[in-house]
Amino acid sequence: MIRVQQQDFDVAAELAALPAAGGICVFVGTVRDVSDGRPVAAMTLEHYPGMAERELARLEEEAQGRWPLAGVAIVHRYGRLQPGERIVLVAVAAPHRAAAFEACRFLIDRLKTEAPFWKSEETAGGARWVAARREDAAAAERWDS
Amino acid sequence: MIRVQQQDFDVAAELAALPAAGGICVFVGTVRDVSDGRPVAAMTLEHYPGMAERELARLEEEAQGRWPLAGVAIVHRYGRLQPGERIVLVAVAAPHRAAAFEACRFLIDRLKTEAPFWKSEETAGGARWVAARREDAAAAERWDS
Amino acid sequence: MRLLYFAWVREKAGKGQEEVAPPAEVADVAGLIAWLRSRGGGPADALADLRLVRVAVNQEYVALDHPVGGSDEVAFFPPVTGG
Amino acid sequence: MRLLYFAWVREKAGKGQEEVAPPAEVADVAGLIAWLRSRGGGPADALADLRLVRVAVNQEYVALDHPVGGSDEVAFFPPVTGG
C-alpha cells in the first residue's frame, strides 16, 4: 500500500490495515529541529507527482520479491512541515522478524535515494535545499544485488 | 521506558511519548494463528514478575550504551491472548536511522532469549509450552560483543 | 514534449514546466540538454552542471543516451532527499 | 530461602513457589539442586535434567556454582520464549 499525501497519517491505523503475520517492523521519520547545528523553523517537501508513487510501488514490489512478506505500507508526506512532524512511514508485516526488519530498512534506505522528494529547510539564514548525503547513498548501495 | 502489563497497549501513544529525534524504529510482535501447521486458539504468556522488568531495563541500558539513542520504549504483555493480539512493542528513537534499526533489532533479539516470559499455546491437540527456537538463540548471539 | 523541473533546478530554470518542440535532430536526452543549453535562459543555467542533475523520461530514471521525442514527459531534478 | 518455579518447571514441580530451609552444607546452586533432588517429589522431577532448566538468584541469571543461602530468592525455569 503506497500513499503520497499532504496530510498527516495515523500510525496505529496504518498498522491495523496490515495483515497479521507475527511481526511488524515500522520506521517513522520526523522533521528534525536542528540541521547542521542551526535551528530549523520549518521544512517544505516538494515531490514529483506520479513518479513518486511509481518509485515507491517499484520499491515495494522489489521488497516483496526479496523477502517473504505479508504486507507493506509506505506513506510519504509533502508540503510544509514543522519540526517534530511525521514525514514518512514504512511498515512491513512478515511471518519472521528478520525479514520484517531487513525489508523495512531496505525500503527506507532506497526510498531516500530513489523516490523523487526534495527537502527545503527554513533556518535563520533563510531557506536552502537539503543536499543529498553521502551516508544515504552508501546505505542504499548496501542493498545492490 | 519499560512496562510489563496484562492489558493491550496503544502503539501511537507509545510512539508519541518518545522524544522526537529524526527517526523511530518499532517492532510489534503479535500472536500467530498457526504454529507448526496447527491452528492456535489462544496463547498464554507467563512471566517472572520483577525479574522480567529488571531484564528489560538491563537490555535497555545495554542498548543505550551501544548506540546513541534518544529514547527507548519496551512494553511486554502477559496473560491469555487471542491470535492477532499484540504481545510486545519495542520502539527506539534515534537521530540516525541505522542506530534506531540496530538497537530495535538488538532489543527484540535479546529479549526473546533473556527476558523471563514463557508461551503456552492452545491447539486442537491441547495446551503445550512453546520450545525455545534455535534461530532465536542464533539471532541473539549475533549481538555478543 | 513536456519538460518538468523540480527543487533548485526548478528555481534556476525559473519555471516548473514548459512545452517544447525541439528540432528533429534532438533524439536523446543528451541532445535535448544540448538544445536547451543553446536556447539559453533559466533552463540552460539549471542544466549547466550535469553531475548535479538527474533525468527521468516518462517518470523513469534514464541515462543521457535514452531516446526522447514526441509527447514524452522529461523531468530534470537534483539528487533526491526525501524520507 | 524462597524457591520459584515457572512454566513447565512449575507444572512438574506441582507448585509455583515454596519456602525451604536447606541444611547448612547447601552453599551453592548445585548443592541446592542436589538437596531438592534428594528430597524427592515434584521439584525433584522438574530438576531431573539440568540442560532444560535456567536458574536465577535474586532475579539474576546465575551458573551452578553461584552461592545461595539465607533469604535468597531462587527461581528455576525453562529457556524463555517471550517476545
The predicted complex's ipTM stands at 0.94
What CATH number does residue D67 fall under?
3.10.20.30
Chain A CB contacts of B33 under 8 Å are: 20
pLDDT single digits (tens) B24-77: 999 999 999 888 888 999 999 999 999 999 999 999 999 999 999 999 999 999
Amino acid at C9: V
Chain D CB contacts of B56 under 8 Å are: none
Phi-psi bin for D40: left (phi > 0), alpha (psi -120 to 50), beta? left
Cα–Cα distance measured from residue D80 to residue B129, given in angstroms and rounded to the nearest whole number:
10
Closest CB to B20 among A10, A25, A30: A30
Domain that holds residue D11: 2-77
D37 assigned to some structural domain: yes
Contact (CB<8Å) D59/B48: yes
pLDDT single digits (tens) A9-49: 999 999 999 998 899 999 999 999 888 888 999 999 999 99
How is residue D63 written as a grid cell?
A: 551458573
How is residue C17 written as a grid cell?
A: 514546466
Nearest to B30 by CA among B124, B108, B133: B108
Q: Do A39 and A33 touch, CB atoms closer than 8 A? A: yes
Cα–Cα distance measured from residue C45 to residue C34, given in angstroms and rounded to the nearest whole number:
12
Number of domains in chain D: 1
pLDDT single digits (tens) C38-48: 999 999 999 99
Bridge partners, residue A117, by sequence: A47
- Mean pLDDT, rounded, of chain B: 95
D72 assigned to some structural domain: yes
C42 assigned to some structural domain: yes
For position A35, what pLDDT does the model report?
Answer: 84
Question: Domain A2-144 has what CATH class?
Answer: alpha beta
Q: pTM higher than 0.90 for the full model? A: yes
13-42 in D: which are within 8 Å (CB) of B?
none
Q: Is the pLDDT confidence value at C13 over 80?
A: yes
Q: Is B87 exposed, middle or buried, given 0-12, 13-18 or 19+ CB atoms closer than 10 A? A: buried
Angle, in degrees to the nearest 10, between helices A97-114 and A134-141: 130
Cα–Cα distance measured from residue A7 to residue A79, given in angstroms and rounded to the nearest whole number:
9
| Touching chains, A (3+ CB pairs < 8 A) | B, C
Contact (CB<8Å) D59/B114: no
For position B111, what pLDDT does the model report?
Answer: 98
